[in-house]
Amino acid sequence: MTKLIQLIQEIKREYSPISLTFLNQQLRRVQRDKPYAGKTILHNLPLTHETLIKLEVLYAGGAEVLVTSPSFMDVQPGLLHQFVQAGGRWFDDVPEGVQIDICLDCAGELIGKVRPSIGCVEITGTGTNKYTAANIDYPVISVDMSKVKALEAMLGTGEAFVRAFSELTGTTLDGQHFLVMGYGKVGQGIAHHLQPHTSNISVVDKKTEHLALAKEKGLDAINAADKSLVEAAAGKAFCIVTATGIESVVSDNYDARAFLNAQFLANMGGEDEFGAGFPAGRVMCGAKPINFFVDSPTLMHYLDPVFYSHNLGVDLLSFSRLAPGVHAFPDFIANELVAQWQRLHQEGAHI
């Protein structure tokens, strides 16, 4: 464990202390109280430098931590080698024959693979939808169902899309027509970060309140039910980016041929939202979220309060008596975290 903590400490030197404000506060608390002693936690998030910093809290709190990574991201071999050599317990798939107390999940990939004795904490909207639809007999806390997730999904993911798209394509965003499929938290963040570069942004959504908000923001808002309008917009787009959280939403609802005229197709969801109607290789990065193909998929100061909340779900499950089913991360905690983060970073007043 000493080597593992040393590795994490080396990684933390890459980040400014202010970008780790919440995780460092959490670290000091668990070092003192050891609230996770005796618990086995299965941690299923993309293995990155940022998530290793998140794991430090679980180790310091006394947990036995088993680590895997969601299928939508290829693990960096060098980082994985460092992690294992330092003593990290890594599994290519869910370990068999091990009693898991709490799952920390991403995109709902642990559903049906493990039955935690205490419960699960899900970090994404995609996973929250899956857990809600599943007949689970244990409690799940959804970080996505709280305002704190907007810091990552709206601000962090939006910034990450613009940065990743520019880096991976080498093209300018200025004046280009972007079609954003989905105007929830992620879609709103993408559009928000595109607006300094182009005013030619169309968004597609099925919710009336999302369409009204898009119009308020000066965007071209298209009802997802109007197939002809959606396909017409797709035929004129320079780039189409999916952010609905729904697998195969494009192929299942529209004529894929209308979308193939776009120069770039990009997915920002945990699932392949374009689907089988698109030839292999046509969607950027194999239809996986494009920000995971650049360094720092999401900047640390956006992840800091969200990772803090994901970890804090372990405490909430351990000391609350929650009924089976999906529960939102508590609003009173989320709202205070967001207010503290906004004061600290002077950003995100619009969320």
Q: pLDDT tens for residues 94-136?
A: 888 889 999 999 999 999 999 999 999 999 988 999 999 998 9
pLDDT over threshold 90, residue 73: no
Q: What is the pLDDT of residue 97?
A: 84
Residue that the structure tokens 């004046």 belong to: 175
Q: How far is CA 19 from CA 64, 225, 256, 303, in A?
A: 26, 41, 41, 9
pLDDT digits (tens, 9 = 90+) for 10-40: 999 999 999 999 999 999 999 999 999 999 9
pLDDT over threshold 90, residue 71: no
Dig out the tokens for 120 from the structure: 């699960």
Q: What is the pLDDT of residue 126?
A: 87
* Torsions phi, psi for 218 (to 5 deg): 85, 20
CATH, domain 2-142+300-345, list 3.40.50.720, 3.40.50.1480, 3.40.50.300, 3.40.228.10:
3.40.50.1480
CA dihedral 187, 188, 191, 193 (to 10 degrees): -110
pLDDT tier, 349 (very low <50, low <70, confident <90, very high otherwise) = low
Q: What is the pLDDT of residue 347?
A: 85
In this prediction, residues 163-185 reach a mean pLDDT of 97
Q: What is the pLDDT of residue 351?
A: 66
pLDDT digits (tens, 9 = 90+) for 197-238: 999 999 999 999 999 999 999 999 999 999 999 999 999 999
Q: How far is CA 49 from CA 71, 109, 201, 342, in A?
A: 18, 21, 33, 24
Q: DSSP label at 257?
A: G
pLDDT tier, 156 (very low <50, low <70, confident <90, very high otherwise) = very high
pLDDT digits (tens, 9 = 90+) for 250-284: 999 999 999 999 999 999 988 899 999 999 999 99
pLDDT digits (tens, 9 = 90+) for 52-67: 999 999 999 999 999 9
Give the whole-angstrom CA distance, residue 188 versus residue 276.
26
Give the whole-angstrom CA distance, residue 216 versus residue 232.
22
Give yes or no on whether 2-142+300-345 and 153-293 have one common fold.
Answer: yes
pLDDT over threshold 80, residue 348: no
Q: What is the pLDDT of residue 110?
A: 96
Q: What is the pLDDT of residue 273?
A: 97
Instruction: List the chain domain ranges.
Output: 2-142+300-345, 153-293
pLDDT over threshold 80, residue 1: no
What's the CATH superfamily of 153-293?
A: NAD(P)-binding Rossmann-like Domain (3.40.50.720)
What pTM value is reported for the model?
Answer: 0.85
Contacts with 181 (C-beta within 8 Å, 6 or more apart), sequence order: 187, 203, 204, 240, 241, 242, 243, 244, 249, 250, 273
Contacts with 32 (C-beta within 8 Å, 6 or more apart), sequence order: none
Q: Is 224 exposed, middle or buried (0-12, 13-18, 19+ CB in 10 A)?
A: buried
Give the whole-angstrom CA distance, residue 329 versus residue 322.
12
Give the whole-angstrom CA distance, residue 322 versus residue 223.
37
Give the whole-angstrom CA distance, residue 84 versus residue 86.
5
In this prediction, residues 157-180 reach a mean pLDDT of 97
Give the whole-angstrom CA distance, residue 155 versus residue 298.
9
- Strands, DSSP E only, in the chain? 40-44, 64-68, 102-105, 119-122, 139-142, 178-181, 201-205, 220-223, 239-242, 264-267, 325-328
Residue that the structure tokens 């595109």 belong to: 194
Contacts with 200 (C-beta within 8 Å, 6 or more apart), sequence order: 175, 176, 177, 178
pLDDT digits (tens, 9 = 90+) for 310-320: 999 999 999 99
